Amino acid sequence: MIKKLQKELKELNTKRRKLSKFLAKQNKKTLSANQLQLLKEQKQAMAKYAKVLKLRIKDLKEAK
């Protein structure tokens, strides 16, 4: 279970990095203000999800 969660976290972090790089390159000409805002919200949700995964991994390790 821990390995599965670690893999999921690794994949999520890769996607977060790619999204961050994408957002850093964007301007108002390439994306609408609404799309830009939605992508920022998506990034925040991904960060929260990563935090929960880390807590789950920690909890499972401590339960051993």
According to the model, what pLDDT value does residue 51 have? 98
Rounded to whole angstroms, what are the CA distances from 22 to 8, 19, 31, 58? 21, 5, 11, 30
Summarize the confidence of residues 50-61 as an average pLDDT: 97
Residue range 59-64: mean pLDDT, rounded: 92
pLDDT digits (tens, 9 = 90+) for 2-47: 999 999 999 999 999 999 999 998 866 788 889 999 999 999 999 9
CB 61 within 8 A of CB 45: no
How many Å apart are CA 47 and CA 6, to the nearest integer? 15
pLDDT at 25: 87
Q: Does residue 53 have a pLDDT over 90?
A: yes
